[in-house]
Amino acid sequence: MADADPLGWNALQLLDLELAHRFSGVPTDAKVLVAGAGIPEIPRAEPCAFVAAVLGLRGLPVAAGDVASVIRGSGGAAHERALISGMHRVYECAVDWGAGGRAPDGWLMASLFKQLTRDVPRFRNNHLRRDAPWDSVLYVKYPDAGVLPERLDRFNRDVCYGDHPLRFNHLHPARQAFRVLWHFARIAPFPDFNLSMAWVAMNIYLLHAGYPMLTPEAPDREALHRMVTGPVPLSVPEMETRLLNALDG
């Protein structure tokens, strides 16, 4: 699908065209819509691959097979099991929230971070950072810890996540999602795993807007570091193409 571009359309235009085609035959009868009959499902990331890759954004060498073993109740050191199980809980909550048409907000992300770190002793009573994040990105100036509650209050769709409303509201929803990731990563409210949780926030936004999820790929860790050190992005062509490809599942 991604290679077919006879009119010179960009990836997001082709993505919207494909989604419109998939939904064009959906019945509009209220009973059918409530039951969900005949409604195409927006592709969701495969859980084990997603969990492993999102933890990989923090540099943890976890494979999808490791995640599957932990979910089955076997394998992995205690610390590894705790983070895998925690990120699996995050995945399930994120999918439920976004697929329900709800956009992410700051306090949702704080509650998901608690789910991630629930069984890791060093995060007990340590959910909002008290100083610089342990996973700081070089050359990024983070807000002081004392303003984090206020910043989380303002991280929501109603105020465009702290973005400029006119610009944010005129962007394609996928590009809005990339900016959600950027803004959350720049707040970095947690002691650790801020880029991982920013990726989760982006995916919740994509799902709530009716778009596929994206699983991180190997180059994304370095690419995110570059993105976060620069200005808020207007577009991310590589990820836009991947969204189109995600429809092929």
Cα→Cα distances 160→113, 130, 180, Å = 21, 26, 8
Map out the domains of the chain with their CATH numbers. Answer: 43-246 (1.10.3290.10)
**In a structure prediction context, what are the per-residue pLDDT tens digits for the chain, which is 249 residues long?**
444 444 557 999 999 998 888 777 555 444 444 444 444 578 899 999 999 999 999 999 999 999 999 999 887 677 789 999 999 999 999 999 999 999 999 999 999 999 999 999 999 989 999 999 999 999 999 999 999 999 999 999 999 999 999 999 999 999 999 999 999 999 999 999 999 999 999 999 999 999 999 999 999 999 999 999 999 999 999 999 999 999 876
Under 8 Å CB-to-CB from 1, ≥6 apart: which residues? 14, 18, 244, 245, 247, 248
Longest Cα separation, the chain: 55
Confidence (pTM): 0.91
Q: Which residue has the tokens 């950027």?
A: 182
pLDDT of residue 39: 45
To 10 degrees, what angle do helices 194-208 and 173-187 make? 150
pLDDT score of 247: 84
What confidence score (pLDDT) does residue 48 get?
97
Q: Is residue 176 a contact partner of residue 156, using CB atoms and an 8 Å limit?
A: no
Q: What contacts 81, CB < 8 A, 6 or more positions away?
A: 70, 75
Cα-Cα-Cα-Cα dihedral sign, residues 69, 73, 77, 78 = positive
